[in-house]
Amino acid sequence: MKQGKPAVFFDRDGVLNIDHGYTYRQQDFAWMPGAIETIRYFNELGYYVFVVTNQSGVARGYYSEQDIDILHEFMNAELKKHGAHVDAFYYCPHHPQGKVERYCMICNCRKPATGMLIQAFQEWNVDLEKALLIGDKISDIQAAEAIGIKGYLFTGVSLYEFVLKSIFDNE
């Protein structure tokens, strides 16, 4: 079996984009400072780049799964202009207090559960020992730890500076 590739998992809202609350429209989307450079950096290092994001706005009836897909296509189109890309987007549309019945549930994909991470590991040849997750909430870090990868809590302003200082200075 061939050796897997390293992977970085990013939470979306609050890490890759400024979290305005339930972001799903292009006109409301604003990249976090340093996010594009960070994704390109990981691309250049040979990492898979994944997004794992809780999107309870679907369960709450604020927007649809199609709206999420459209926004993620927009994000990758913008990244392409800068020589970067996300390999795959994973999202959880569920929430136990949702208003849309088919999404109103406790699931195995909503972080801190590991379903989105497990799905990525099943679909891609990831080296688990060289995988990491960057999130802005404790639930992100809990998901990383539950699956056995390193989690980094992003609390800064520039994602690129955070990555250089917090991740690559420690190796």
Residue 14 placed within a domain = no
122 within some domain: yes
**Domain encompassing residue 78:** 26-166
Residues 152, 167: Cα–Cα separation, whole Å: 8
In a domain, 9, yes or no: no
Does a structural domain hold residue 104? Answer: yes
Q: What is the pLDDT of residue 143?
A: 98
- Judge whether 16 lies within some domain: no
Domain total of the chain: 1
Q: What CATH number corresponds to the domain at position 137? A: 3.40.50.1000
Please give the C-alpha separations between residue 166 and each of 41, 131, 141, in angstroms, as whole numbers: 15, 15, 14
Indicate which residues carry an active-site annotation. 11, 13
Model confidence pLDDT, tens digit, residues 14-73? 999 999 999 999 999 999 999 999 999 999 999 999 999 999 999 999 999 999 999 999
